[in-house]
Structure 1
Amino acid sequence: MPNNLLAQETIPAHEIEYTRDLAARLQAKIIRDNPTGIMRRDAHPKMHGVVKAEFTVTADLPPELRIGIFAEPRTYQAWIRYSNQDGTIQADTARDIRGMAIKLMGVPGDKLLEDQLHEQTQDFIVISTNVFVTKDVEEFDAMIKAMTSNTLAKILFFATHWRVIWNLIKSLKKFANPLQMRYWSTTPYLFGDTAVKYSAIPHVTNADAIPSNPGPDYLRQAMVRQLAQGEAIFDFTVQLQIDPDSMPIEDPGKEWKESASPFRKVATIRIPQQEFDSEAQRVFGENLSFTPWHSLPAHRPLGGINRARKIVYDAISKFRHEYNKVARKEPTSWEI
């Protein structure tokens, strides 16, 4: 497959208008959802924990994988935030998508966000399903509009968007421990002459089971228990785009088949034994901002959903921090 057909974006007409509408709807939603107390995220507001981690780039990678931060073997200090996706904070027993947001520190080089050009962080955001719920920004905006409207609007939307229903049903699951789950980026990213999707794959020796009588915060409790006794390990992997038709850039709702292009390890994530459940660390995790656009140009986010994230995540983060009267800043070490 000629390289000039890979990693190519096609921006549809009116995408920016749908993106601005989406940002406004999500800001209105968090204002409704948080009438008292702090202003929380529109998605992933319930945090199981933010933990210290090491991200070690694999030595002796083949040339096609030595891109950006993966060009040389090196260990980065990182923070990782685990969360539930649903905009309403609810018991962990509810079926949901779970999130793993990774922030590397000490990453040299200018970054993509104009107002954070010289920050030393690189974010990777992965979730517990391998496809995004919608195909593009227009469809996602329509879904949010329906879900924040009346019952009839919801019925009309989902009656005409069968793949959205299917992707949503497949993604909503129960899990035993956030440190023992696999995560995917769902959206693609630039990687040399092609694009990749990311996946974090856990090393699990003795898998936890969901408790017979789980409490509302049993996922956090599972993390506390595991990290009190030892470490957690993930392989960080990339899946190379090899065909622009079966592995589209502009439709993250379509799976890139692993049978066609397997995920390949490029780094190891080690979460050392630690205590992380202090109030100070919870506040720190609440105030962190994650976006795939905290990134080197070599790992530029691709596709409409990622283009929308650049605007939406920044707008929500700025609004949330201003409302909460908290400075918005990137961490530089494990010190809180």
Structure 2
Amino acid sequence: MTNRTLATESIPPGETDRIHDLAMRLQAKIIRENQGGIMRRDAHPKMHGLVRAEFTVEPGLAPELQIGLFSRPQTYQAWIRFSNQSPSRGPDSERDIRGMAIKLMGVPGEKLLERQKNALTQDFILISTEAFVTRDVAQFDDLIKAMTGSLWAKICFFGVHWRVIRNLFRSMRKFANPLQIRYFSTTPYLFGATAAKYSAIPRIDRPDAVPANPASDYLRSAMVTQLGREEALFDFVVQLQTDAQAMPIEDPGRAWSEAASPWRKVATIRILRQEFDSDEQRAFGENLSFSPWHSLPAHRPLGGINRARRVVYDLISAFRHEYNHVPLQEPTGWEIGQPQVGSTEPSAIMRNAVMLGTKK
């Protein structure tokens, strides 16, 4: 097998239409779910906390790991948002997928998104499960259609999609503390001559336990307690694609073998001791936008789910910022309410998003 087969995408027929159908379906979904309040994200709307962190690229990396952001040792300021996936924003005791969205600042170089090509940010989107729930955009579109449809629609979908059921069952879990969870990208990204997946592994000295009688927002409380006492550390690691067939680009519902390609550390995430539970910081976290396409070309997202994210994330972000009458901006540092760069008037973004979402 040659490197020419690695990091290679294969776009199935009809994917573009499926992506636009998914975008419109998810926009309609958040409109139904947010009647009378602010317009929230379609996934991960319940935020446990937005925290300040440092992201330090390791010195002395092997040559094949010195790619893009990781080409030289450096420390970046970061914002990290922890969240529940469920749109219901219900109690934390419910089984769910948890999210860790990382935004690095001070990252030079043009970025992939045209309207933010001069922004100095780089995002990594991670969740608390190793495999994505579906294999491709078409299956994910059908899943959303079933989940927002009738009981019969759900029975018809899940009756013939056993791997989706298995992936959901494995990923929906209870956790004690968002700072003590391992997170995964599930989807692949360009990495030099090959592709890579990302993961953040917590360093835990004293693991918390799920409370016997947990409060509705006990995950936020667990973060407040830990960061009031000590910092939190994660090892940021990559898994390189070494076999194009066994490690598919177009099926993130299939985890890559760790035996075939071990995880390798490239950076350290240090979440400082801090107070973060203010109303002002909550609002700031609500208005931040995260996307795997907030990225250097060296780390371009790969695969159908990521191609869908480019359209869907732009549409949903533009729509909710327009609806909530807040500007869509990228931060430049840890200060809240500071002047920001990379902004575009919401109305202009909205026009572009709607054009993307309604194309047939």
How would you bin the TM-score normalised by the shorter chain?
A: over 0.9
Query: What do you get for the CA RMSD once the two structures are aligned?
Result: 0.4
Q: Secondary structure at the match of 2:328?
A: coil
Give me the whole-angstrom Cα distance separating, in 1, the residues matched to 2:125 and 2:193.
22
Matched, 1:68 2:104: no
Matches within 5 A, 1:110-259: 110-259=110-259
Ranges in structure 1 where 5+ consecutive residues have no aligned partner: none
The list of structure 1 runs, each at least 4 consecutive aligned residues, that deviate by more than 2 angstroms after superposition, is none
Name the aligned partner's letter for residue 59 of structure 1: P
Give me the whole-angstrom Cα distance separating, in 2, the residues matched to 1:88 and 1:258.
34
Matched, 1:312 2:340: no
Q: Secondary structure at the match of 1:104?
A: strand
TM-score normalised to structure 2 length: 0.93
Matches within 5 A, 1:283-302: 283-302=283-302
TM-score normalised to structure 1 length: 1.00
1:259 CA drift (Å): 1.2
Q: Secondary structure at the match of 1:329?
A: strand
Deviates more, 1:253-262 or 1:43-52: 253-262
Q: Secondary structure at the match of 1:145?
A: helix
Give me the whole-angstrom Cα distance separating, in 2, the residues matched to 1:274 and 1:32.
36
Q: Secondary structure at the match of 1:8?
A: coil
Matched, 1:28 2:36: no
Deviations 1:42-84 (A, max 9, x none): 0000000000000000000010000001000000000000000
1:214 CA drift (Å): 0.5
Name the aligned partner's letter for residue 129 of structure 1: T
Identity %: 68
Give me the whole-angstrom Cα distance separating, in 2, the residues matched to 1:255 and 1:71.
26
Ranges in structure 2 where 5+ consecutive residues have no aligned partner: 337-360
1:332 equivalent in structure 2: 332
Give me the whole-angstrom Cα distance separating, in 2, the residues matched to 1:67 and 1:175.
33
Q: Secondary structure at the match of 2:152?
A: helix
Give me the whole-angstrom Cα distance separating, in 2, the residues matched to 1:239 and 1:186.
11
Deviations 1:197-231 (A, max 9, x none): 00000000000000111000000000000000010
Name the aligned partner's letter for residue 49 of structure 2: G
Deviations 1:170-201 (A, max 9, x none): 00000000000100000000000000000000
Q: Secondary structure at the match of 1:23?
A: helix
Q: Secondary structure at the match of 1:207?
A: coil
